[in-house]
Amino acid sequence: MTQTVQLPLWLLILIVLFAAVTFASHFLFPSVRWFFRRRAERVIAKVNARLPRPIEPFKLARRYDMIQRLIYDAEVVLEIGEYARKEGIPENVAFEKARSYAREIVPSFSATAYFTFGTRLTRWLSRSLYRIRLGVFDRAQLEGMNPDAAIIFVMNHRSNMDYMLVTYLVSRASALSYAVGEWARVWPLSAVIRMMGAYFIRRKSRGALYRKVLARYVQMATAGGVTQAVFPEGGLSLTGAVSEPRLGLLNYIVSDFKPDGREVIFVPVALNYDRVLEDRFLIAADKSGVRRFRPPLSTVCRAVLSHLWQRITGRFDKFGTASVSFGEPLALADFMQDREGDQTEAVGHELMARIRRAMPVLPVPLVARVLLAGVTDADDLRARVQADLAALASTDAPLPRRGLDKVIADGLARLRQRGLIGDDLQVPAESHDVLEYYAASIAAHFDAPAAKIPEISASAK
């Protein structure tokens, strides 16, 4: 027992490594997990005590458990068998395919990350870049909704800042679970987004197995009462106007709704900006007909450095106003009462109509609309803007809270800063697309779309 045993150095190192891994897996890792789990539980308890809508247990489930529950769901198992038969592959191979889809979709929500790092970042970024204004916001109505209902915020998609803005504004009420496109599936952004409770979706996937896995996750989350946020347009608006809805995610929710089950309430959310950071890329994508608009790295770096220099020198005056309005909620049980058949399309179009009605009217879109009509005189401009505001005053459109002269001055200042108009109010030919993009955001409030007169031929100053 006390004899000396000689071992090669490589074998000794291997034994020590195996011992260290065994010790860590059996003693160290469980203790570390227990420490962080207890800390997370305290954070959740503290957050839930102040939230009107506490975080749902479904959202707090371990990611591994949620993946297992999803791939062993009865409907998913049936689809796995059908997929295996169609593709002529073993069921265990099809099962692994479904598991890969589930791992891609299911988030790993962290309350600590969401309510400490996440909400503080969204608050700082939103308020540092924009002047934040609430348009229509009936607090009593929103707080009076059934606390057991699944609330789904349905939003138009103007900018990638939408995620930041809505997360910041809703963080005092609940934790949102976003449906995020494939653009964000890059490391380390994907890990951060999953920690914030978002789930990834493939917009262009046509595979039945993938759609079934995604559908069952969305339906389980809705049945579990998870507060969600979806962009039914399916991507950023290329024209500035609110587009027609893509019905995929809405169909998953509507088709699985049961009147005697959990209540589902859709809350329309309208977002508008005096300056959309991606506007020129979106306009170029609309012209080319190709939705892929990844800006060159050099362009992004120059823009960031220029922005930082403006901040350092004290010349940055924000990008104008970013406004959010909450439209009339749509209770699915009430909407589907006395209706038969699939109501997904009706629900989608009704929600988009409510978003258009709630769209905030901001200085830049308002001034851009009038300038596109060929107005070049300051007095005429003031009269036209005043007439438009008066026409909208009898509607429920969220109007600017500043005085008429201040609204006009803000709109003109933003456009001049970007070189989109001259001092004489002439619109250069190359600026038409940008002004039309902003005017289109509020065109639905008027009887006709924003005026476009191509005969304006003034050159850039």
- For the chain, domains (ranges, CATH) are 104-277+319-357 (3.40.1130.10), 363-445 (no CATH)
Q: What is the reported pLDDT for 205?
A: 67
| Amino acid present at 50 | R
HSE-CB at 82 with a 13 A cutoff on CA atoms is 11
Q: Which residue has the tokens 């109501």?
A: 343
Q: What is the reported pLDDT for 10?
A: 78
Rg value, the chain, Cα: 26
Alpha carbon of 134 to those of 14, 137, 323, 360: distances in Å? 62, 7, 6, 9
Q: Which residues pair with 200 in a beta bridge?
A: 180
Q: How far apart are CA 284 and CA 292, in angstroms?
A: 10
Tell me the pTM: 0.82
Q: Which residue has the tokens 């009936």?
A: 138
In terms of Cα–Cα distance, which of 178, 347, 328 is closest to 256? 347
In terms of Cα–Cα distance, which of 277, 154, 295 is closest to 227? 154
Q: What is the reported pLDDT for 460?
A: 29
In terms of Cα–Cα distance, which of 392, 388, 394, 400 is closest to 451? 388
Helix-strand-coil split of the chain, %, nearest 5: 55, 10, 40
Report whether 267 contacts 324 (CB < 8 A): no
197: left (phi over 0), alpha (psi -120 to 50) or beta: left
Alpha carbon of 209 to those of 35, 98, 216, 361: distances in Å? 38, 7, 11, 43
pLDDT digits (tens, 9 = 90+) for 124-175: 889 999 999 988 777 777 777 888 899 999 999 999 889 888 888 887 777 7
Q: How far apart are CA 438 and CA 362, in angstroms?
A: 10
pLDDT digits (tens, 9 = 90+) for 17-46: 877 767 666 555 555 554 555 555 565 566
For 44, other C-beta atoms within 10 Å of its C-beta total 18
Q: What stretches of 289-343 show up as alpha helix (H) in DSSP?
A: 297-312, 332-336
Walk along the chain (461 residues) in steps of 10 and give the mean pLDDT of each run: 72 76 60 53 59 68 87 94 93 93 86 78 89 81 81 92 86 78 62 75 80 93 90 90 90 91 93 93 87 67 78 81 93 87 90 94 95 91 93 86 92 92 88 95 74 32 28
Report whether 359 contacts 325 (CB < 8 A): yes
Report whether 165 contacts 129 (CB < 8 A): no
Q: What stretches of 171-255 show up as alpha helix (H) in DSSP?
A: 189-195, 208-223, 248-255
